[in-house]
Chains A and B, each alone.
Chain A
Amino acid sequence: MQNNQFSPKLSKVLKSKGLSAFAAALLSIALGLIFGFIVMIIAKPENSWYGFTNMLFGGFGRLGDVFYFATPILMTGLSVGFAFKMGLFNIGASGQYTMGMFFALYAGFMFDLPSGIHLIVCILAGMIGGMLWGFIPGILKAFANVNEVITSIMFNYIGMYLVDMLIQQNATMYVSSKTRTAYLPASAQLPSLGVPDSNVNISIFIAIFIAIVLFIVLNKTTFGYELKATGFNKNASKYAGMNDKRNTILTMLIAGALSGLGGAFAILAPSTIPGSSMTYEPINVIAANGFNGIAVALLGSSNPIGIIFSAIFISHIQRGGTIVSSFFGYKPEIIDIVVAVIIYFSAFAMLMNANVAKMIKKRRLAKAVQSINSNQAAADETPQDKKEA
């Protein structure tokens, strides 16, 4: 694929690559859903069809919730996907997310600022919290060659214990009788979009905006180019004079900031009860949204635009799962299984697709050779396509 970097028909190749990633995602989604359907048939045959259709379409009845729950996983998905582009596996999105939550909570409770400014400070605080937790693994990777997978896993645990402890020690934030944090002041809450029975708020638009910005950064800037080049071939990009240490740190910093923002968006959301907002319960569990972000990033093949859709899709199917579990007697874990199977297949769906595409192209090639009228353009195209496949 790298060979195509220098070909004049770059845009065309990119297009077909994006298309094949999309087809691969669709194929793995279909396989995952079929698997989920089979599990449903085994679990409770009499309800399986209604269960399945509700899992698929139930989310449409609760679009507000779909977008609300999509926001944090969109952010962690962007975080993981962005790091993936440089060949870094940011499994630490959970820790960065938790730190973002804590920093946002801290700013929300401890700073007394006029409304308007307060919210912005809280969001920025969340971003800084996540950045910090991404920065350290980045530095360690760049200067001490410590595997970022291990450091970021360690930081997941350190962050979780640290945040739980700091929250429990803070009397302003923590209501010990409820074993969770108090409600945030109204000035620190994200403005709600006013969808009835839903927490959906403006952060979904911010998140989508950030995704588009990332897409531009990755595809239209030197930094984005260097990042992808390092992801393709570390040594070659180093040889070409790219500062891989700086890029590693910067990538982890940005990835951390994205996860941190996800945490801030999750905790600063207003809840359906008017005047109150979401709370945090310190129970020594690693935030699931970080790991969901990995799934989102993989399904969206690390493309920011793809990640928008995959986050919404996963959130949609999870909402379907809650409907299925509350009305049809299935367990919500079915959705987790479906998502896991989708990711499993997506690991080699690209390959399956490439094989299918190769077959089709071979046939086309044969046809083109047969027809004497085939012009030069077709002949130009074929070797290139082969390379891509």
Chain B
Amino acid sequence: MNTIYYLVQNMLPVAVPLLLVALGGMFSERSGVINIALEGIMLFGAFFGCLTVYFTQNSGMNAQVILLFGMIAAAVAGIIFSLLLSLAAVNLKADQTITGTALNMLVPAVILLFSKMKYNSDGITTDVNFYIQSIPGLSKIPVLGDMFFKKTYLTVYIGFLLLIIATIIFYKTKFGLRLRACGEHPQAADSVGINVYVMRHAGVGISGFLGGIGGFFYSVGVMDGNVNGHTGVAGFGFLALAVMIFGQWKPIKIMFAALFFAFLRVLAYSVALIPILNQMDINQTYFKMLPYVATMIVLIFTSKKSRAPKAEGIPYDKGRR
């Protein structure tokens, strides 16, 4: 039982960044813009989040308050950075894959340059303990308390809150409906008076918001509050893309996909702590490959009927209506 508690406790902080970033990708792609820049957006958000933490860590504020400040900074940074993508992709009708790739290349270089010049290091190192040992009251609930309210991070709760909000916006509001229309048939959307450009800017902007927060949460939950230009977010932005496709561009399915992936990853990194797996004496590297292999196998079985938003990747041109 303790092993299960351990796995769940460790899985959630890993799943949340994936979940948020994949949701961001979903908003962007359902509005019609392919967002390969998620990796860059994450790292950019993580960088500004950590920078905020770095400057506020000695102010004597509560660690969780600092986390919220970092989160806000990361979200704003993500939105601003995603503008680079949406301006190029929506207004200038640039190739979205190329733009995204360029932005991904840009961020690590910027972080390394800044950190090396300012702090003579490869990234930002902070010294705040965001870890929550146990939540008073709630952690007393049998089983559930052990799973969800002990040894965790605030990021987990914020992440699931954002999932609920995103799902409601996506399915239950006029805005969500319009956004989805722009990704399927922008000409039709335009013909009923929806401004496709604005909706696509909004879609990419939301992906910047969620991607930035996701990146900062990766820093908090996986990197212990640090960010490094060399390792970056270890391909989580790309993994989030896989999670998004695996989740069929739908919020709830994306959640399950993120949990599945995070579970395999945690399993890979804690083989030594799980007696059954440890006794099998398999090289740990196989476990590290497991999340990637498993995602691919799942994609093989789900991709046949998978249907990407119809108009994604095609710049909208009013003149061609």
Contacts of B223 in A (CB 8 A): none
Task: Decide: A331 and B117 in contact? CB cutoff 8 A.
Answer: yes
Asked if A164 is at the interface of the complex by the 8 Å CB criterion, the answer is yes
Contacts of A294 in B (CB 8 A): 101
Q: Given A150-B241, A157-B292, does the pair A333, B112 have CB atoms closer than 8 Å?
A: yes
Task: Decide: A334 and B113 in contact? CB cutoff 8 A.
Answer: yes
Task: Decide: B105 and A340 in contact? CB cutoff 8 A.
Answer: yes
Rounded to whole angstroms, the CA-CA distance of A154 and B294 in the bound complex is: 10
Shortest CB-to-CB span from B81 to chain A, Å, is 12
Q: Given A144-B303, A146-B303, A162-B289, does the pair A348, B102 have CB atoms closer than 8 Å?
A: no
Contacts of A169 in B (CB 8 A): 283
Map CB proximity to A onto B226-244 as digits: 1 under 8 Å, 0 otherwise. 0001100001001101100
Rounded to whole angstroms, the CA-CA distance of A156 and B296 in the bound complex is: 12
Q: Given A150-B299, A153-B235, A333-B113, does the pair A344, B102 have CB atoms closer than 8 Å?
A: yes
The chain B residue with its CB closest to the CB of A344 is B102
Task: Decide: B113 and A158 in contact? CB cutoff 8 A.
Answer: no
Q: Which of A140, A149, A285 contacts B300 (CB 8 A)?
A: A140
Residues of B245-263 contacting chain A, CB below 8 A? 245
Map CB proximity to A onto B88-107 as digits: 1 under 8 Å, 0 otherwise. 10001111011101110110
Q: Which of A154, A298, A340 contacts B109 (CB 8 A)?
A: A340
Contacts of A331 in B (CB 8 A): 112-113, 116-117
Residues of A136-186 contacting chain B, CB below 8 A? 140, 144-147, 149-151, 153-158, 161-162, 164-165, 169
Rounded to whole angstroms, the CA-CA distance of A336 and B232 in the bound complex is: 15
Contacts of B242 in A (CB 8 A): 150, 153-154
Q: Which of A151, A158, A333, A343 contacts B101 (CB 8 A)?
A: A343
Task: Decide: A165 and B283 in contact? CB cutoff 8 A.
Answer: yes
Rounded to whole angstroms, the CA-CA distance of A354 and B92 in the bound complex is: 12
Shortest CB-to-CB span from A320 to chain B, Å, is 15
Q: Given A165-B285, A351-B94, does the pair A43, B296 have CB atoms closer than 8 Å?
A: no
Contacts of B238 in A (CB 8 A): 150, 153
Asked if A295 is at the interface of the complex by the 8 Å CB criterion, the answer is yes
Asked if B108 is at the interface of the complex by the 8 Å CB criterion, the answer is yes
Task: Decide: B299 and A161 in contact? CB cutoff 8 A.
Answer: no
Q: Which of A147, A165, A339, A351 contacts B93 (CB 8 A)?
A: A351
Shortest CB-to-CB span from A44 to chain B, Å, is 9
Shortest CB-to-CB span from A151 to chain B, Å, is 6
Rounded to whole angstroms, the CA-CA distance of A76 and B36 in the bound complex is: 20
Shortest CB-to-CB span from A27 to chain B, Å, is 14
Asked if B56 is at the interface of the complex by the 8 Å CB criterion, the answer is no
Q: Which of A43, A140, A161, A285 contacts B288 (CB 8 A)?
A: A161
**Chain B binding surface SS class:** helix
Contacts of A295 in B (CB 8 A): 101-102, 105
Task: Decide: A347 and B102 in contact? CB cutoff 8 A.
Answer: yes
Contacts of A144 in B (CB 8 A): 299-301, 303-304
Contacts of B295 in A (CB 8 A): 150, 154
Map CB proximity to B onto A336-354 as digits: 1 under 8 Å, 0 otherwise. 1101110110111001000
The chain B residue with its CB closest to the CB of A284 is B288
Rounded to whole angstroms, the CA-CA distance of A286 and B88 in the bound complex is: 28
Task: Decide: A147 and B303 in contact? CB cutoff 8 A.
Answer: yes
Rounded to whole angstroms, the CA-CA distance of A119 and B64 in the bound complex is: 59
Task: Decide: A291 and B88 in contact? CB cutoff 8 A.
Answer: no
Contacts of B177 in A (CB 8 A): none
Q: Given A140-B300, A161-B288, does the pair A340, B102 have CB atoms closer than 8 Å?
A: yes
Contacts of A334 in B (CB 8 A): 109, 113
Rounded to whole angstroms, the CA-CA distance of A28 and B291 in the bound complex is: 39
Contacts of B88 in A (CB 8 A): 344, 347-348
**Chain A binding surface SS class:** helix
Residues of A91-135 contacting chain B, CB below 8 A? 91
Asked if A52 is at the interface of the complex by the 8 Å CB criterion, the answer is no
How many of chain B's residues touch chain A, expressed as a range? 35 or more
Task: Decide: B109 and A333 in contact? CB cutoff 8 A.
Answer: yes
Asked if A82 is at the interface of the complex by the 8 Å CB criterion, the answer is no
Asked if A68 is at the interface of the complex by the 8 Å CB criterion, the answer is no
Residues of A241-291 contacting chain B, CB below 8 A? 285-286, 291
Task: Decide: B289 and A158 in contact? CB cutoff 8 A.
Answer: yes
Task: Decide: B94 and A348 in contact? CB cutoff 8 A.
Answer: yes
Q: Given A334-B113, A340-B103, does the pair A157, B235 have CB atoms closer than 8 Å?
A: yes
Q: Given A158-B292, A351-B94, does the pair A341, B102 have CB atoms closer than 8 Å?
A: yes
Asked if B138 is at the interface of the complex by the 8 Å CB criterion, the answer is no
Contacts of A165 in B (CB 8 A): 283, 285
Asked if A67 is at the interface of the complex by the 8 Å CB criterion, the answer is no
Asked if A313 is at the interface of the complex by the 8 Å CB criterion, the answer is no
The chain A residue with its CB closest to the CB of B84 is A344
Asked if B306 is at the interface of the complex by the 8 Å CB criterion, the answer is yes
Contacts of B108 in A (CB 8 A): 336
Contacts of A91 in B (CB 8 A): 101
Rounded to whole angstroms, the CA-CA distance of A336 and B103 in the bound complex is: 11
Task: Decide: B299 and A344 in contact? CB cutoff 8 A.
Answer: no
Rounded to whole angstroms, the CA-CA distance of A339 and B288 in the bound complex is: 32
Residues of A312-348 contacting chain B, CB below 8 A? 331, 333-334, 336-337, 339-341, 343-344, 346-348
Task: Decide: B105 and A151 in contact? CB cutoff 8 A.
Answer: no
Task: Decide: A154 and B292 in contact? CB cutoff 8 A.
Answer: yes
Contacts of A153 in B (CB 8 A): 235, 238-239, 241-242
Rounded to whole angstroms, the CA-CA distance of A155 and B235 in the bound complex is: 12
Task: Decide: B285 and A161 in contact? CB cutoff 8 A.
Answer: yes
Rounded to whole angstroms, the CA-CA distance of A339 and B94 in the bound complex is: 17
Asked if A89 is at the interface of the complex by the 8 Å CB criterion, the answer is yes
Asked if B110 is at the interface of the complex by the 8 Å CB criterion, the answer is yes
> Which 6 interchain pairs have the tightest Cβ spacing?
A336-B109, A348-B94, A344-B102, A340-B106, A343-B102, A347-B94
Q: A157-B292, A331-B113 are in contact. List 11 more A-B contacts (CB 8 A).
A: A43-B113, A43-B117, A146-B299, A150-B241, A153-B238, A162-B285, A294-B101, A295-B102, A298-B101, A298-B102, A344-B102
19 A-B pairs (CB sep. < 8 Å):
A140-B296, A140-B300, A144-B304, A146-B303, A147-B245, A150-B245, A153-B239, A153-B241, A154-B293, A157-B289, A331-B116, A333-B112, A336-B112, A337-B106, A337-B113, A340-B105, A346-B98, A347-B95, A348-B88
Q: Which A residues lie at the B interface, using CB under 8 A?
A: 39, 43, 89, 91, 140, 144-147, 149-151, 153-158, 161-162, 164-165, 169, 285-286, 291, 294-295, 298, 331, 333-334, 336-337, 339-341, 343-344, 346-348, 351
